[in-house]
């Protein structure tokens, strides 16, 4: 049985998380840094879930100690504060998971996060929903819009800019009519354009649908793109449990966690010498930042998934 240490100074929150996880895992708890270290030294712990702000040494201090003294232990942070305040720290220290707790910690999110971290079973937006959630897979040649089931998503394959624009407009119209914010248009545009131009590469590792100038950190996409038949990507969309869902399956994705945090950091952290984020001058990364700000949650993997629910960092 996996063994989890919860570090949280607020008793009610600590007990709620213990109650949530104790059915599947052996749970230990601590209310501060010193107690957590004592448990880590005396018990075999697989995962630490720690609040960021605590009396005395913080959760950030605890993570740094774990990285140096207990490198085999997995960890994730929790905070009720603005996650953007910790992007720079996350980037510098390789922290990929931050759980929000401003709507009393989306309980389902914690359970899903723990499962992913401990098992490595990371794929699938269905993990966030109940057993009634359904997925309609895409079929070759099926390029038209269709209405998803009442609790689930439907996938479509995209081969061209023309088809991408058509589907994005229809999906946005459908979701907005169901109550989604108008910003869904921008999320769809950013996610699908990135999947189209940044993913497919040739046998030498060069981008097929954009020019790259690494010396200037510059990328220039082609116009009116028609993807090769094997270069398609998929978009999934739907609604479940009052959540508007958008999933991008990018079968060639090479954007890793370090690059994601780097781009977010450059658009969030202010350069004291100029008073502006350095990412303002970047030719790419803005779409990722915009989606992160507009969406409630952005999850990114080799097959990126984004859905609108409780806000977190990158998983």
Q: How confident is the model at residue 302 (pLDDT cuts 50, 70, 90)?
A: very low
CA 136 to CA 158: how far, in whole Å? 15
The model's confidence at residue 206, banded by pLDDT at 50, 70 and 90, is low
Residues of the chain with CATH 3.40.50.2300: 3-122
Alpha-carbon distance 54 to 61, whole Å? 10
pLDDT in tens, 211-223: 565 655 555 555 6
Q: Rounded to whole angstroms, how far apart are CA atoms 248 and 257?
A: 16
Quote the pLDDT of residue 4.
Answer: 98
Q: Would you say 73 and 92 are in contact if contact means Cβ atoms under 8 Å apart?
A: no
Q: Measured between alpha carbons, how far is residue 172 from residues 147, 196, 213, 295, 315 in Å?
A: 12, 18, 33, 14, 25
Answer whether residue 274 shows pLDDT above 70: yes
Whole-angstrom CA distances from 109 to 34, 45, 114, 115, 171 are 27, 21, 9, 10, 25
Whether pTM exceeds 0.95: no
State the fold for domain 3-122. Answer: Rossmann fold (3.40.50)
CA 241, CA 133: separation in Å to the nearest integer? Answer: 9
Triad 78, 84, 85: Cα angle to 5°: 80
pLDDT over 70 at 208, yes or no: no
- How far is 273 from 179, CA to CA, in rounded Å? 42
Q: Render pLDDT for 74-116 as a digit per residue (tens, 0 to 9).
A: 998 887 666 666 666 776 777 767 776 655 446 677 888 899 8
Residue that wins the pLDDT comparison between 228 and 141: 141
Residue-wise pLDDT for 162-205, tens only, equals: 899 999 999 999 999 999 888 888 889 888 887 776 656 666 66
Q: Which of 26, 27, 124 is nearest to 116 (CA)?
A: 124
């Amino acid at each position: 049985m996996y063994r989890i240490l919860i570090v949280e100074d607020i008793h009610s929150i600590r007990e709620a998380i213990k109650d949530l996880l104790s059915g599947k895992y052996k749970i230990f708890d601590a209310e501060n840094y010193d107690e957590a270290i004592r448990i880590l030294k005396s018990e075999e712990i697989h995962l630490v879930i720690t609040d960021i702000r605590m009396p005395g040494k913080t959760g950030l201090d605890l993570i740094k100690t774990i990285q140096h003294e207990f490198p085999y232990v997995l960890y994730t942070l929790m905070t009720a504060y603005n996650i953007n305040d910790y992007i720079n720290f996350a980037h510098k220290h390789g922290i990929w998971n931050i759980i929000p707790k401003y709507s009393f910690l989306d309980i389902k999110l914690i359970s899903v996060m723990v499962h992913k971290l401990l098992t490595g079973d990371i794929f699938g937006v269905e993990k966030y929903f109940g057993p009634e959630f359904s997925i309609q897979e895409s079929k070759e040649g099926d390029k038209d819009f269709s209405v998803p089931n009442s609790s689930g998503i439907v996938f479509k394959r995209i081969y061209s800019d023309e088809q991408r624009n058509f589907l994005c407009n229809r999906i946005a119209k459908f979701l907005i009519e169901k109550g989604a914010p108008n910003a869904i248009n921008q999320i769809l545009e950013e996610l699908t354009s990135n999947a189209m131009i940044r993913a497919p590469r040739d046998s030498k590792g060069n981008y097929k649908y954009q020019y790259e100038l690494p010396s200037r950190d510059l990328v220039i996409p082609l116009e009116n793109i028609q993807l090769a038949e094997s270069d398609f990507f998929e978009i999934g969309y739907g609604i479940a449990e009052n959540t508007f869902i958008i999933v991008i399956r990018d079968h060639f994705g090479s954007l890793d966690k370090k690059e994601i945090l780097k781009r977010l950091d450059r658009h969030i952290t202010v350069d004291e010498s100029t008073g502006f984020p350095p990412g303002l001058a970047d030719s790419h990364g803005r779409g990722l930042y915009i989606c992160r700000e507009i969406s409630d949650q952005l999850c990114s993997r080799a097959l990126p998934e984004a859905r609108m629910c409780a806000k977190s960092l990158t998983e």
